[in-house]
Amino acid sequence: MNEHNTVEKMRRMRMNAMASLYHSSLTDNLFQDYSLDSFLSMLIDAEWESRQNRNIQNLITRAGFKQAASAADIDY
């Protein structure tokens, strides 16, 4: 199985962050610096973080806040 098919299957399974990192790792030969376990862990962590961030953004959007705010904006 070649890399293009692997990336395409990841995208079809909606693992877009994992597919992007996998593709860039192959392009930049970064996968050679890691063991299989470390490389797989890195791919899974990237997908997990992407999904968590997307979920938080969806929750913020659905909340319908009138103004954008952050903890850094609070004056103590």
Please say if the pLDDT value at position 43 is more than 90. Answer: yes
pTM: 0.78
Q: What is the mean pLDDT of residues 11-32?
A: 92
Q: How many domains does the structure of the chain reveal?
A: 1
Flag whether 63 is in a domain.
Answer: no
Flag whether 27 is in a domain.
Answer: yes
Flag whether 20 is in a domain.
Answer: yes
* Closest C-alpha among 11, 17, 25 to residue 52: 17
Flag whether 76 is in a domain.
Answer: no
Cβ(24)–Cβ(30) below 8 Å: yes
Flag whether 66 is in a domain.
Answer: no
Cβ(17)–Cβ(49) below 8 Å: yes
What is the domain range of residue 8? Answer: 1-53
Flag whether 72 is in a domain.
Answer: no
Percent of the chain with pLDDT over 70: 99
Average pLDDT, the chain: 91
pLDDT band at 65 (very low <50, low <70, confident <90, very high): confident
Question: What is the secondary structure of 2-51 as a DSSP string?
Answer: -HHHHHHHHHHTT-HHHHHHHHHHHHTTGGGGS-HHHHHHHHHHHHHHHH
